[in-house]
């Protein structure tokens, strides 16, 4: 069974090297279902600083989520780029279609109840195929748009018309577009023209590591309330922890184990 799935995935990879082109006025939308079909330099230039989906990262993702035993571990990939008549990239993004939990963004209490049903005999209860912009393991600005280009809005429309076609061809039961800032003009355009339901995603959290290199420097870089919190609640506990900067030496299986320790008990973002 495993072998037959692997053979099927190889066939898909060979077929995906051909482009499907659709000309609309001065714009051309190109669609491929393998990263091998992308213009690597143009794609990587467009996504720099947006998230970890360079062509190298996407190749690894395709390898990891193809030919696996479990349905949820096999994804379909679709890449879209829109260029003008001069070959300039106007918009670009990628979609994955995969089996997801319908309660992925529900409250933790609701997911806990649904999980109890799954664990008692029906592991795919309330699960469906979703065509998602980006993927379950990426975050950031998945949609690149050259916003100053005169045909930017038309390029976005082409992408979302094509996305609906991909959803149908992949047997997706819903189409998810993400991640957009609340006041993003392009997201507003999609909501008005394509009638998408908007839903807040979990808050991203990031810390700037520039401008300091020790504890005193970090404390000087944060606000008064945060500084008091760190001094009162964090520093007294430091002796209980060993902080290790691992540069790729840890066994990948150990990283997966650490991930599962969190995934199994946190239901705010409920995934497989």
Q: What is the pLDDT along the chain (272 residues), one digit of tens a residue?
A: 333 333 333 333 322 222 344 554 589 999 999 999 999 999 999 998 888 889 999 999 999 999 999 999 999 999 999 999 899 999 999 999 999 999 988 888 999 999 999 999 899 999 999 999 999 988 888 999 998 899 988 898 899 899 999 999 999 999 988 877 666 666 666 666 666 666 666 666 666 777 888 889 889 888 899 999 999 999 999 889 887 776 666 777 888 888 888 877 778 778 88
Residue 8: CB atoms within 10 A of its CB come to 13
Q: Give pLDDT, residue 251.
A: 79
> CB of 175 within 8 A of CB of 163?
yes
**Helix boundaries (H) for 75-211:** 108-118, 152-169, 185-194
pTM given for the model: 0.75
Q: Give pLDDT, residue 20.
A: 40
Q: Give pLDDT, residue 202.
A: 66
Cis omega before residue 138 (within 30°)?
no
Alpha carbon distance 22, 188 (integer Å): 25
Q: Give pLDDT, residue 17.
A: 28
> CB of 263 within 8 A of CB of 111?
no
CA angle 162, 167, 170 (to 5 degrees): 120
Q: Give pLDDT, residue 73.
A: 95
Q: Give pLDDT, residue 8.
A: 35
């Amino acid at each position: 069974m495993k072998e037959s799935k692997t053979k099927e995935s190889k066939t898909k990879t060979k077929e995906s090297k051909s482009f499907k082109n659709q000309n609309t006025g001065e714009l051309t939308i190109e669609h491929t279902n393998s990263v091998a079909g992308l213009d690597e330099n143009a794609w990587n230039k467009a996504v720099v600083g947006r998230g970890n989906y360079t062509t190298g990262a996407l190749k690894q993702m395709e390898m990891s989520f193809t030919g696996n035993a479990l349905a949820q571990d096999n994804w379909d990939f679709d890449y879209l780029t829109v260029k003008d008549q001069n070959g300039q990239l106007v918009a670009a993004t990628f979609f994955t279609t995969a089996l997801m939990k319908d309660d992925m963004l529900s409250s933790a209490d609701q997911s806990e109840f649904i999980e109890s049903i799954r664990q008692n005999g029906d592991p795919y209860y309330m699960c469906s195929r979703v065509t998602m912009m980006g993927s379950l393991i990426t975050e950031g600005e998945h949609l690149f748009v050259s916003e100053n280009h005169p045909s930017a809005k038309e390029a976005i429309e082409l992408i979302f018309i094509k996305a609906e076609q991909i959803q149908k061809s992949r047997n997706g039961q819903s189409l998810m577009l993400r991640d957009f800032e609340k006041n993003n003009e392009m997201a507003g355009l999609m909501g008005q023209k394509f009638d998408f339901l908007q839903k807040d995603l979990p808050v991203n959290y990031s810390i700037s590591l520039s401008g300091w290199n020790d504890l005193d420097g970090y404390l000087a870089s944060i606000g008064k309330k945060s500084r008091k919190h760190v001094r009162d609640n964090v520093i007294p506990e430091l002796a209980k922890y060993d902080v290790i900067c691992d540069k790729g030496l840890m066994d990948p299986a150990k990283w997966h184990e650490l991930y599962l320790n969190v995934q199994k008990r946190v239901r705010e973002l409920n995934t497989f």
